[in-house]
Amino acid sequence: MAETARPLVARVLRERVAPSAIAGRAGDFAREAADVVQTLPRGVLEIVEKVRTDRFQIQFVHRNLEHFVQEMDRSSNRLSLAILIAALVVGSSLTFQAKSAGPAIFGYPALGMAGFLVAGLLGLGLAVLILRSGRF
């Protein structure tokens, strides 16, 4: 197989290093370089003109940010709920300290009891949501 391929390989190598092949590649390179030399100044002038007239803009395309936005939204919702629960606990505690805060249930202010009940239910719901997500 090597004996059969040897003349073919030699012919391909000769064709690649032949002066006409090198001249052809050099001509192609020269044409491409000439195109660059002709179009580059025009492009640079367009950019400079846009910068000078405050019309130059760079646009960024963000990929895969939807997941990040969803996670930030979920986190801020959980944080808001936690702050609401804390406010209910503090408010209910203050109501408990003020003995004359309206009707009483078992000798405790009804408004304070309701606040603690709502805070407990919301806290339990928040804990369940966090545990179900599997991420602390």
- Segment 84-129, tens digit of pLDDT: 999 999 988 888 887 666 787 887 788 888 889 999 999 998 888 8
13-40: pLDDT as tens digits:
888 888 888 888 899 999 999 888 888 8
Which pair of tokens denotes residue 95?
């109501």
Together in a domain, 38 and 97: no
Together in a domain, 76 and 127: yes
109 and 101 in contact (C-beta within 8 Å)? yes
- The answer to whether position 100 is within a domain reads yes
Average pLDDT, the chain: 86
Together in a domain, 82 and 107: yes
Q: Which residues contact 112 (CB under 8 A, 6 or more apart)?
A: 92, 93, 95, 96, 101
Together in a domain, 71 and 38: no
Together in a domain, 44 and 88: no
Kindly state the DSSP code that residue 108 receives in the 8-state scheme.
E
Q: How far apart are CA 69 and CA 90, in angstroms?
A: 31
Host domain of residue 77: 65-133
- The answer to whether position 126 is within a domain reads yes
Q: How far apart are CA 32 and CA 26, in angstroms?
A: 10
Residue indicated by tokens 């003995």: 99
Q: How far apart are CA 89 and CA 83, in angstroms?
A: 10
pLDDT of 135 reads 67
Please give the tally of structural domains in the chain.
2
pTM exceeds cut of 0.75: no
Together in a domain, 46 and 77: no
DSSP 49-78: HHHHTT---------SHHHHHHHHHHHHHH
- The answer to whether position 106 is within a domain reads yes
